[in-house]
Amino acid sequence: MNYLNTYKLSLISCCLILLVSCVKHPDSPGYEYMPDMYRSQAIEAYVDYGLVADVEHEELKTTISARIPVDGTIPYTENKDMASINMPFNYGDGEQERIRAGIEVQIPQSYIKDSLTADFNKNEGKKLYEIMCTHCHGDKGEGNGKVVKASGDLIVPPSYVSLKDRTLGSIFHTITHGKNAMGPHGSQMNKDERWKVALYVRSLQNGGDLLLSELNAPESSNDEAQMNDN
Amino acid sequence: MKISWIHKIIQFILPLLLIINLTAFSQDGEKLFKANCASCHNPVKNATGPKMQGVKEKWINSGEGELIYEWVKNPSELYNSGKSKMAKAIWNYSPTAMTAQGHLSNEEIDAVFAYVDAYTAPVADVASVSSSSENNQKDSNSFWWWIIGAVLVIIIFSVSGVRRQLSYALAEKEGSPKDPNIPTGVHVRSWMVRNWFAFTLILVSVLIIAGVELGNRAYQVAIFQDYQPSQSIAYSHKLHAGEMGIDCKYCHHSAVKSKHAGIPSLNVCMNCHKVVHEGKESGTEEIAKIHEHVGYNKDKQLYNKDENGNRIEKPMVWNKAHNLPDHVFFSHQQHVHENTANIDCRQCHGPVETYTLGRVSSTEEINAYAETDEGIEKGIVKLTRPILTMGWCIECHNKKEIDLTSTGYYEEIHERLKNRPDAMSEIFKDKKVTAKELGGWECAKCHY
């Protein structure tokens, strides 16, 4: 009699414990209809292959899956101008390289072949600038973006107007590799986009206009003098 | 009398003039600091360059008060000359060499240091980031309810057991012992026969409730509304996208180029966090996690490298919040790129700038956002079906109007339609063009 009762009680409590253990895992998205139709068997970006058929594979979880392209690979395009723009930018990180790029690199002619094209590219650059740069450099490149204010003026980007002597090549290098507190943005924008942003930055330095004549002639700058010094 | 008046006025004005002069001096220092130094130095915090407050005093204390001007004007020359100990000490502060400020005069340098030494940090206007402790609280609450429920059930069963044994004992005492070996099932069955009406009522209502519940549950399967998984770094969209106004496409930059919006790689974080090391609340620890995974030494401002010169990095594991089944093809580029649909991110993701971690929004939330001025300006469409379901997708394809005059993809579609007047008149019958009318409801558009 007593045995039966204890047996029943333990059975009931076991069932209850089972029920309690049915709490949903906080990171579980919930139920799916046909998991085999949800999960790609082929490799897809951002799919966790560390967890296949409920078996965890620690080594797959902890190897880096987001990778950078092989050195020297060039995106394919049928457009000849674009193909030449996509050629590798052979300037490394650092101040010396920036100065060298500023002297040696010119904006590709296809961007500024006439004022209409230049204006179009400048406006494309404006759209990109508003996504990529405004939050630090400010709408007009005065170095008063919201991030700067929110960080309590930890670092204040210099106003573009004060850097008028920078060539477009130098601006392109700065966007690609970063400078001082600014990080490299080469991974976020391709070369085409970087040239467009550089054009827009130049127009901000001139109060919104592009001076086509000065874009082609490399200015003699402080940078050049500094390069010769070193 | 007159002279003393003038004397008094002079006595009053002279100090005033002096004060005005002084403020002009320090404003000058502020201007010079902002123009020449602020892109690397903060007065009171270490950044790309070391903090500047009290630096002049240090140089004077080490007996090199005059050399500081030389340092500012040309750091590398002073370092190479080897005559300054201070220059040697700070030369390796960071891998970025200080830019020579040769155009500054000694007075201007003094003005800069006067401004810096008098500087007090403004209180940064960063609102607090709410933590996820609220959620945890809720979970542990429901756990305790389960325990209490279990205890109550056990008590009920044991009490009824005692009651039954007592009734046996009572029956035995009265001389008509019940057979204790009659199984419980027989009792239950005899109860059912005796109270057949109540039993049928209970049975029917239980069946109805179970059926409705089952149906509801079945509708909840594969609906991921409000799903907010934990992440390796407690990143706050509210802070970055909301208060700092960073565009969605700055971090999720592949949204306009690729099928995937992309989880930003850590180098995107490092664009700012190579100098920003501190945050509000848990921010400082979370930023330290970025540095740990990307292998960044914030004191030396260098990335850790092994003996072969390769970076030492650890992968970051993120939990995916928005997941479409493999049998659906969805491309962010088609929907976000300005030459195609040009839809605002919030149409599908809701007001992300008010969330902390990435989270699947809900249809109600997006509808509420669509009614705000911002939502109307962005042309957010109100929908009824649950988020991330097929009904929701095709509802929008049916409702959202398309501007055929826009450049790019629809321009091309428009040109093609011009050759087919019958199709054109069919589409324009209701005076608006939707994705459905241009093939947005074709099965093979998404399922292939």
Measured CA to CA in angstroms, residue B288 lies from A8, A66, B292 at distances of: 54, 21, 6
At residue A41, the pLDDT reads: 74
- A62 and B314 within 8 Å at the Cβ level: the answer is yes
pLDDT tens digits, residue range B244-258?
999 999 999 999 999
Contact of B310 with chain A, judged by CB distance below 8 Å, is answered with no
Confidence of residue B104 (pLDDT cuts 50, 70, 90): confident
Nearest CA in chain B to A188: B253
Cα distances (angstroms) measured from residue A148 to each of A137, A198, B30, B354: 8, 21, 16, 20
Q: Has residue A115 been placed in a domain?
A: yes
SS3 A22: coil
Q: Which helix or strand (DSSP H or E) is residue B302 part of?
A: strand B302-303
Range of the domain at A135: 80-229
Nearest to A20 among B150, B223, B227 (CB): B150
The mean predicted confidence, pLDDT, of chain B is: 83
Whether the pLDDT of residue A230 is over 60: the answer is: no
Q: Report the distance separating Cα B228 and Cα B362, nearest Å.
A: 11
Percent of chain A beyond pLDDT 70? 84
pLDDT higher than 80, residue B8 = no
The stretch A193-210 carries a mean pLDDT of 89
| Residue of B253, B259, B298 to mutate for A, most A C-beta atoms under 10 A | B253
CA A146 to chain centroid: 19
Strands A55-56 and A51-52, bridge-based pairing: antiparallel
Residue A146 located in a structural domain: yes
Task: Give the pLDDT mean for B214-221.
Answer: 86
Which residues in B lie closer than 8 A to residue A132 (C-beta atoms)?
247, 250, 253
B34 close contact with A: CB closer than 8 A: yes
Topology classification of domain B2-117: Cytochrome Bc1 Complex; Chain D, domain 2 (1.10.760)
Q: pLDDT: is B264 or B406 the higher one?
A: B264
Q: Does residue B133 have a pLDDT over 50?
A: no
Q: What is the mean pLDDT of chain A?
A: 81
* Between A43 and B124, residue with greater pLDDT: A43
Mean pLDDT check: name the lowest of A23-37, B9-23, B205-219, B259-273. B9-23
A126 touching B (Cβ < 8 Å): no
**Chain A within 8 Å of B160 (Cβ-Cβ)?**
no
Nearest CA in chain A to B149: A16
Confidence of residue B2 (pLDDT cuts 50, 70, 90): low
Do B143 and A23 lie within an 8 Å CB cutoff?
A: yes
pLDDT tens sequence across A18-37: 766 666 677 887 787 777 77
Between CA B33 and CA B116 the distance in angstroms is 8
Within a domain: residue A6?
no
Q: How far apart are CA B422 and CA B432, in angstroms?
A: 16
Residue A229, pLDDT score: 46
Q: Kindly tell me if the per-residue pLDDT of B27 is higher than 90.
A: no
CB contact under 8 A, A26 and B227: no
* Surface of A (76-115) touching B: CB under 8 A: 95
- pTM (2 d.p.): 0.78
Q: CB of A22 within 8 Å of any CB in chain B?
A: no
Give me the CATH number covering residue A209.
1.10.760.10
Confidence of residue A222 (pLDDT cuts 50, 70, 90): low
A-contacting residues of B 169-188, CB under 8 Å? 180
pLDDT of residue B348: 93
Q: What is the pLDDT of residues A90-130, one digit of tens each?
A: 898 888 899 999 888 888 888 888 889 999 999 999 999 99
Say if residues B385 and B367 touch (Cβ distance below 8 Å).
no
Choose the closest CB to A46 out of B76, B123, B263. Answer: B263
Residue B287 reports pLDDT greater than 80: yes
User: Cα(B1)–Cα(B30) distance, rounded to whole angstroms?
Assistant: 44
Structurally, how many domains does chain A consist of? 1
- CA atoms within 13 A of residue B362's CA, in its CB half-sphere: 7
Would residue A207 count as lying in a domain?
A: yes
Q: Do B317 and A29 touch (CB under 8 A)?
A: no
| Interface touch A188/B253, C-beta < 8 Å | yes
Q: Per mean pLDDT, which range of B57-71, B260-274, B330-344 is the poorest?
A: B57-71
* Average pLDDT of the residues in B210-216: 92
Nearest to B122 among A136, A153, A162 (CB): A153
- Provide, as residue numbers in chain B, all residues whose Cβ is less than 8 Å from the Cβ of A16: 149-150, 153-154
Query: Which residues 182-211 on chain A approach chain B with CB closer than 8 angstroms?
Result: 182-185, 187-189
CB contact (8 A) between residue A132 and residue B250: yes
Residue A40 lies in a domain: no
CB pairs under 8 A between A and B: 178
A21 touches chain B (CB under 8 A): no
| pLDDT per position as a tens digit, A126-149 | 999 999 999 999 998 888 889 988
Q: Does B249 touch chain A (CB under 8 A)?
A: yes
Burial zone of B255 (CB within 10 Å; 0-12 exposed, 13-18 middle, 19+ buried): buried
For residue A24, is it within any domain?
A: no
